[in-house]
Amino acid sequence: MKVLLVFAHPEPRSLNGALRDIAIAELKTGGHGVQVSDLYADRWKSEVDRTDFASLAPDARLRVAAASGESFAAHTLTDDVLAEHEKLLWADTLILQFPFWWFSMPAILKGWVDRVFSYGFAYGVGEHSDTHWGDRYGEGTLSGKRAMLVVTTGGWEEHYAARGINGPIDDLLFPIHHGILYYPGYEVLPPFVAYRVDHLDEVGFEDVAQRLRDRMRTLATTAPISYRRQNGGDYLIPTLQLRPELGDPGATGFALHSTERGSLPALPDRTC
Amino acid sequence: MKVLLVFAHPEPRSLNGALRDIAIAELKTGGHGVQVSDLYADRWKSEVDRTDFASLAPDARLRVAAASGESFAAHTLTDDVLAEHEKLLWADTLILQFPFWWFSMPAILKGWVDRVFSYGFAYGVGEHSDTHWGDRYGEGTLSGKRAMLVVTTGGWEEHYAARGINGPIDDLLFPIHHGILYYPGYEVLPPFVAYRVDHLDEVGFEDVAQRLRDRMRTLATTAPISYRRQNGGDYLIPTLQLRPELGDPGATGFALHSTERGSLPALPDRTC
C-alpha cells in the first residue's frame, strides 16, 4: 500500500506525535510506502483567499468555486496545493490524524481540506444527467482509495456513546466521513478514536498504541462504512432524497445513508 | 441589544458580504449596538500554536488545554484573542456568518473558535461534583446570551432535508450549535440558511434578504432550540448518558439532546 498521513497537531512531543510515529513505523514494517503531510511543521496556510488563485484579475470579484475550478483547469493552483494533489493521487490510502477540537478538526486541517479539495478535483467532477448527479458520494477523483480518521479526545468515551451528552462519535464524524471523504470517492473505514488522552498512564498508552498498530496492519482488509452511492439507484434525482421505500423504518438523519449502521463497535461493558 | 457579528468570507462583494450589510443595517435601524469581527479583513490567525502562549517556556512541551488555561488565568493571551473576549462579554447576542464549506465552517472561523474559546473562558469552567460536571451545556461564561448562525450553501435545500443525501442541515450543524455554542452557555436560535446561493436572481436575493431582515427583527424573541441542560437532572453523572427514561422512544443520536426537535421548519411544499 501507499499511505498518505496528514497530521495536524502543533506539538511533535504530544501523544498525537507519538501515535503518528507508531503508525508510520508499523506501516513501514509491513512494507508499505508512507508519505506524511505535517501541517504545522510545513506551516500550512489555512485560509482560502484570493492569493490562492493567481489567474484572478486584481479587481475581479472572488467567487471561490469558480476561481478554484478555473485555476485547477489551468494548472495555476499554488505549489503547496498541487503537491498535496500529487500525494493524494499517489496514495491508495489516506489517513487524517488530529485532536478533536470543538467537535471537529483543528482549523489548520480544515484549511487543508478547504484549499486542497479544489473544484474539478474533489467537487464539480463528472456530468449531470437524469441518472447521474456528478461524480460524488462514492464516485470521483479519489474513488478506489480508502480513507480513515485517527482522532484523540479529551472527553470520556461514555460522553460520545449512543446516549452520551456530546452526541455519538459516529454522528459527530459524519460531516467529515461522508461530506469530506466519501464525497470525492473514498471508501471510509471506521475511525480510530482514543478517548480521554489527557489522563493516559503507561498501560493506557500501550493499549492505545497496540490498537493503532492493529488498525495499521488491517488497513487493506477492514470493511468500510457502507455508505450508499449517490448514483447507484438509492436516491431520486435531482432532489437526491433517499427513495421512500429504503432505509430502516426507525432510521433518521445520518443513519439513512448507510445500509447498515455498524461504523462503531458497541461501547465496552465496563465501569468508569 | 448588543450584537457581535463574526464574519468569515474572503470577498466583501460576495452575497455573504451583501447579507452582512443588510443584517447590520436592520439591527442599527432597530436601535441596537453592533460590532463586527471581519476575520479575513482583520487577517485573523487561524492556527493554535505555541506563539499563542507567551508564558510557555521555549523548550516546554505544548499541552494546548493547560497552556490555554494558564495564559487565560495570567492574562497573557494574545491581544487579538483578548479583544474577542471583550466583544463576546459585551454582546448579548452572537451571530456567526459563513459559507458552508465542506459541511462546516471555513478554516478561518474554526480558528477563531479554536483560539478564542480558551480554557477557563469557554471550557474548563466551574466545579466538578456528583451533581455538577463543570459549567457547560447551558451554563458557563456566556450563559444568558443568545447565538445564531447565518449560513449560505451552494447545494439545494432538498439535499439537506430529512432524507436528503447530505444529511439534514440541523444534524450537520449540531456540532456547532450544541458543541461550540451551547457548550459555553449560549441559548442557540434556529439557524438562518440560504440555499443554492450561486444561482440567485434578483427576486431570489430579495426573498433571502427579507427573510434575514425578519430574523434580525426577531432576534430577541425567537425561541431557542430546546437543548437539555447538562446539570439540570436529565443526565447521569459522571457518564453523562441521558437518563434511560428520557427521550422519545424513536429518537436517536443528536435528537435525544433537545426536548423537542423543532429546530427547523418543515421543508416548503414546492417543486424544484
Percent of all residues in chain B with a pLDDT value above 70, rounded to a whole number? 96
User: Is the pLDDT assigned to residue B268 strictly greater than 80?
Assistant: no
Mutate: best of A252, A269, A271, A272, partner B, most B CBs <10 A: A252
pLDDT at B266: 40
Q: Is residue A154 in a domain?
A: yes
Percent of all residues in chain A with a pLDDT value above 70, rounded to a whole number? 96
Q: Is residue B266 in a domain?
A: no
CA B198 to CA B18: how far, in whole Å?
A: 14
Distance from CA of A55 to the nearest CA of B (A): 16
B240 and A164 in contact by Cβ < 8 A? yes
What is the rounded average pLDDT for all residues in chain B?
94
B14 and A107 in contact by Cβ < 8 A? no
Lowest-confidence region among A134-138, B92-96, B196-200, B217-221:
B196-200
Structure confidence at residue A261 as a pLDDT band (50, 70, 90)? low
Q: Is residue A50 in a domain?
A: yes
pLDDT at B261: 55
Q: Is residue B87 in a domain?
A: yes
Q: pLDDT tens, A157-209?
A: 999 999 999 999 999 999 999 999 999 999 999 999 999 998 899 999 999 99
Which chain A residue shows the shortest CA-CA distance from B99? Answer: A64
Instruction: Give me the mean pLDDT over the B118-137 stretch.
Output: 94
Q: pLDDT tens, A107-123?
A: 999 999 999 999 999 99
Percent of all residues in chain A with a pLDDT value above 90, rounded to a whole number? 90
Give the helix/strand (H/E) hosting B38: strand B33-38
Q: pLDDT tens, B56-76?
A: 999 999 999 999 999 999 999
User: A267: which chain B residues are within 8 Å (Cβ-Cβ)?
Assistant: none
Give the helix/strand (H/E) hosting A82: helix A79-90
A103 and B179 in contact by Cβ < 8 A? yes
- Tell me the residues of chain A between 35 and 94 that have a Cβ less than 8 Å away from chain B: 40, 46-50, 61-65
Tell me which residue in B14, B172, B250 faces A175 most closely, judged by beta carbons: B172
pLDDT at B60: 96
B172 and A172 in contact by Cβ < 8 A? no
Determine contact: B191 vs chain A, CB below 8 A: no
User: Is the pLDDT assigned to residue B263 strictly greater than 70?
Assistant: no
Q: Is residue A252 in a domain?
A: no
CA B1 to CA B33: how far, in whole Å?
A: 6
User: Is the pLDDT assigned to residue A240 strictly greater than 80?
Assistant: yes
Structure confidence at residue A266 as a pLDDT band (50, 70, 90)? very low
Instruction: Give me the mean pLDDT over the B196-221 stretch.
Output: 96
Q: Where are the alpha helices (DSSP H) in B57-145?
A: 64-73, 79-90, 107-116
Q: pLDDT tens, B27-36?
A: 999 999 999 9
Q: pLDDT tens, B101-126?
A: 999 999 999 999 999 999 999 999 99
Instruction: Give me the mean pLDDT over the A145-152 stretch.
Output: 98
CA B143 to CA B241: how far, in whole Å?
A: 22
Cis peptide before A58 (omega within 30 of 0): no
Q: How many domains does chain A have?
A: 1
Structure confidence at residue A221 as a pLDDT band (50, 70, 90)? very high
Q: Is residue B255 in a domain?
A: no
Determine the residue type at A60. Answer: A
Distance from CA of A218 to the nearest CA of B (A): 28
pLDDT at A154: 96
Tell me which residue in B10, B235, B238 faces A48 most closely, judged by beta carbons: B10
pLDDT at B131: 86
pLDDT at B109: 99
End-to-end CA distance of chain B: 38
CATH of the domain at A50: 3.40.50.360
Structure confidence at residue B269 as a pLDDT band (50, 70, 90)? very low
User: Is the pLDDT assigned to residue B185 strictly greater than 90?
Assistant: yes
Which chain B residue shows the shortest CA-CA distance from A241? Answer: B164
User: Is the pLDDT assigned to residue B264 strictly greater than 60?
Assistant: no
Lowest-confidence region among A15-19, A216-220, A250-254, B7-11:
A250-254
Beta bridge pairs of residue A104: A101
Determine the residue type at B101. Answer: W
Contact partners, residue A60, CB within 8 Å, separation at least 6: none
Contact, B230 vs B240, CB < 8 A?
yes
User: Is the pLDDT assigned to residue A268 strictly greater than 50?
Assistant: no
Tell me which residue in B104, B117, B241 faces A158 most closely, judged by beta carbons: B241
Q: pLDDT tens, B151-179?
A: 999 999 999 999 999 999 999 999 999 99
B167 and A159 in contact by Cβ < 8 A? no
A254 and B250 in contact by Cβ < 8 A? no
Q: Is residue A61 in a domain?
A: yes
Give φ, ψ of A68 to 5 degrees: -65, -45
**Domain residues for B117?**
2-225
Q: Is residue A247 in a domain?
A: no
Of the candidates B172, B224, B229, the one whose C-alpha atom is nearest the C-alpha of residue B195 is: B172
pLDDT at B242: 96
Distance from CA of A33 to the nearest CA of B (A): 29
Beta bridge pairs of residue B192: B150
Under 8 Å CB pairs connecting chains A and B tally to 218
For residue B156, give Cα distances in angstroms to A65, A109, A252, B8, B52. Answer: 16, 26, 19, 21, 39
pLDDT at B267: 45
- Rounded to two decimals, what is the model's pTM? 0.95
